[in-house]
Structure 1
């Protein structure tokens, strides 16, 4: 019988990392580790890291410094780093951080149990080799330990776009699509275990299958997933505007299970900045996509990403980004100050903006988006929404779930409703969520 040990798993960054962390927990369960929320009790600490922005990377190093003291008190505790920082830095992490036991890159999750078992014997290792496409197809770990009613399912990894600011192609590799048969089988198994909502996940999910001979395209994959019994809701992320086809837009009118929400990063509202970013579309083309989506699916909720302070961004360029927010009326925006990333083309740009100016622009953008978000949330007041209940809310005595448009709703109701679809009247729109009451 395997002696049970405790795993503290800390996840940074994107939804792909969240999905990878689910797989990490599943892989380590097989060698006797179960999760804990208390790092001081853990036998194993793993940081699943992000390096897309400098600040995210700095957080990782700050946590590693904190864990140095814990390692001094409990020398047998194991500490590992995975994800994008691990892929970027590799063995340098082991050389520079003596209390670190192992490192694993974005293509090496399948080696994690072996790395942990070696670390238990005192062997320090780093595995960060990129794996060729044919081999990678067979190495997508699948977490079959169902947890909740909503799950991420990875359909592709990597990115071939090489936006000038973005490190993803260098730490996640080139695009590769999973076999559709494997995806459909995984989702069928999840549905059989009670999962009702799946989110198809990839760095550039719209390009699924485009580079795989004889494979389904993304629209056909969506349609086949929607036909799986037990799956009541379907989402996908992240989309690149240049790959968002008319056929995909039409899915929002034709597929009842496809949720009324799209995450469609613009990154900027100025054509000059979009060109410097190598985004592959214009402001006008982006707005045309938004218009088509709102026409075929009235009430669809749009979220996005914006980078402020990109090298060479003028005040006029920034004003065009602000006007894009007003025109699109995003439900929410994930906005960031530009930070130089190694290996990217933009790292060589010299027309930099002062940190003070970048922060001022971010503050202005956030203030505008907070106003738009609150107005949008209040527009739901009085409406009746289908809510998939996901769990007990942090607000005492309430449960929470999401509407099709991906807004969180808190409801005063019996926790026995978790996992069910319920009809809710929205009573109040708040800054970050909605309040609702069960319909009679």
Structure 2
């Protein structure tokens, strides 16, 4: 094993795969290491420590990581002292597979071991051959008192809840991130205030089922009430909520505050009650429809997106049609649509045979995507002639003469760079929409 120690100035490069929670965890690891003399490396070539922070939700993501590890081996061959580590959900789930398929990996740690990361790197120098492994889950760990090393920007994340108690039959998250626990409100608010002081304009509150957040007597609606008071934070978002944990109090709180964005990601997963029951989701399709109606009644201009899985074990043609019907009824602004892929370690992998062939799953998914694209196009084009408030993010990828940013309802908006003033990321402008695609609003500044 390489001799790493904790000499000041050692450089670390963290490469992140997966969701916003993983991005937030990478910032957390960077903060932990910075307090012990590590600095961020600009690339792999200049790094003394290379960490891959991984996702375990889909098999394709895991295979991509193994391919990436094979590529990164070149840096260890060129400089044997380089530490190569795998962190996060995949490390938790596949600790033995990682060390078998990538025996050159020096460090394998799960999502609850980041506080110990400097010591674990130090242990690498004490081991002659075996990798250092720490995948113990901790029901008490919320990383209280640790300051993330945030990437520069105008929008960032704060993790308010770790773990999950729902145990959906298709999901591996409770097994790799542990049971649900809320971060203390004072910790969350301190991070949000620090972000505001650093110039961040937007904060996204993160949790696996974020609206089930509770810490002592504080629920998620209470937490939002405090976050919106922070001066300098202009927008507050959150993801991902769980349908049955939406309370009238939370809906009222969202409707009351302009800072809380008019956008909600609300996972449906299926429109079939039989499939929802098999998934061990805790709601029926009618209960989901009522929740959507209640939210839209309180916040008429809210945009919504969703997650849907097609081809779940036992899904019939009728079950699938009910999902199509739900899509038509609710009319999400956009959706993240997937075909079912079995994950080892889940209830579904153990008890629910994957009976549908890939061709059937693929055809159902393609048809659903086609319909959602049409719905999205209709919704986006329906915004033509309206005016949206946009937070500038930067230059458009398509044309250097254009700028882009998100509207309050999370729609990417592209508009010409004004000739009479300089706009910078974090500035707000009003844009009149003149055209649209199924994914983007196009317009011109009117102020």
Question: Which of the five TM-score ranges fits, normalised by the shorter chain?
Answer: over 0.9
Between the aligned partners of 2:288 and 2:324, the Cα distance in structure 1 is 15
| Residues 1:152 and 2:157 aligned together | yes
TM (norm. structure 1) is 0.92
- What count of residue pairs does the alignment treat as equivalent? 434
1:247: how far off?
A: 1.4
Query: Given the superposition, is the C-alpha separation of residues 59 and 415 from structure 1 closer, same or farther in structure 2, using an over 3 Å criterion?
Result: farther
Report deviation, 1:82. Answer: 0.9
Q: What secondary structure is seen at the aligned counterpart in 2 of 1:417? A: coil
Deviation at 1:222, TM superposition (A): 0.6
Q: Where do 1:324-403 residues align within 5 Å? A: 324-347=326-349, 348-350=351-353, 352-395=355-398, 396-403=400-407
Which region of structure 1 is more displaced relative to structure 2, 219-228 or 335-344?
335-344
Change (3 A) 1:389 1:114: farther
Instruction: Give the direction of change, closer, same or farther, for the CA distance of 1:5–1:399 in structure 2 (3 Å limit).
Output: farther
Distance verdict in 2 for CA 1:351–1:29, change over 3 Å = closer
1:143 is matched with which residue? 148
In structure 1, what is the Cα distance between the partners aligned to 2:30 and 2:82? 17
**TM-score in terms of structure 2 length:** 0.91
Q: CA deviation at 1:7?
A: 3.8
- Partner of residue 318, structure 2: 316
Deviates more, 1:19-28 or 1:371-380: 19-28
Asked if 1:98 is matched to 2:103, the reply is: yes
Equivalent residue runs for 1:104-119 within 5 Å: 104-119=109-124
How many Å separate the matches in 2 of 1:8 and 1:394?
Answer: 26
8 Å Cα contact 1:387-1:403 kept in structure 2? yes
CA distance in 2, matches of 1:166, 1:150: 28
> What's 1:216 paired with?
218
**CA 1:114 to 1:362, structure 2 compared with 1: closer, same or farther past 3 Å?**
same
Alignment partner of 1:234: what SS? strand
* Correspondence 1:68 to 2:69: no
In the alignment, the residues of structure 2 paired with residue 351 and residue 127 of structure 1 have an alpha-carbon distance, to the nearest angstrom, of 33
CA distance in 1, matches of 2:333, 2:41: 34
- Aligned to 1:361, what secondary structure does the other structure show? helix
**Paired residue for 2:3?**
none
Cα distance in 2, alignment partners of residues 355 and 140 from structure 1: 47
Residue 3 of structure 1 and its aligned partner are, at CA, apart by: 6.2
Name whichever of 299-308 and 343-352 sits farther off: 343-352
The separation in 2 between residues aligned to 1:405 and 1:362, in whole angstroms, is 26
Q: Residue 429 of structure 1 corresponds to which residue in structure 2?
A: 436
The CA distance in 2 between the partners of 1:399 and 1:226, in whole Å, is 27
Measure, in 2, the Cα distance between the counterparts of 1:435 and 1:89: 45
SS of residue in 1 equivalent to 2:218? coil
Partners of 1:140 and 1:265 lie apart in 2 by 32
* CA displacement at 1:292 relative to structure 2: 1.2
- The equivalent position to 1:12 in structure 2, one of 17, 35, 38, is 17
Give the distance between the partners of 2:253 and 2:10, measured in 1 at CA: 46
Cα-to-partner distance string for 1:28-55 (whole Å, 9 max, x where unaligned): 344333243x445544322111111222
Root-mean-square deviation over aligned CA pairs: 2.2
Q: How does 1:32-431 map to 2 (within 5 A)?
A: 32-36=38-42, 38-119=43-124, 124-133=131-140, 136-139=141-144, 141-143=146-148, 145=150, 147-209=152-214, 212=215, 214-347=216-349, 348-350=351-353, 352-395=355-398, 396-413=400-417, 416-431=423-438
Cα distance between partner residues in 1 of 2:395 and 2:48: 28
Judged with a 3 Å threshold, the aligned counterparts in structure 2 of structure 1 residues 35 and 266 are, in CA distance, closer, same or farther, namely farther
Q: Return 262-271 or 427-436, whichever deviates more.
A: 427-436
CA distance 1:66–1:138, change in 2 (3 Å):
closer
Cα distance in 2, alignment partners of residues 25 and 137 from structure 1: 16
Whether the 8 Å CA contact 1:71–1:77 is kept in 2: the answer is yes
CA contact (8 A) 1:25 1:35 kept: no
Conserved 8 A contact 2:139-2:178: no
Segments of structure 2 that go 5 or more residues without pairing to the other structure are 1-5
Shift of 1:351: 5.3
Q: Distance in 2 between matches of 1:103 and 1:204?
A: 26
CA distance in 1, matches of 2:239, 2:189: 17
Displacement of 1:93 in angstroms is: 2.1
C-alpha spacing 1:159/1:378, structure 2 compared with 1 (3 Å): same
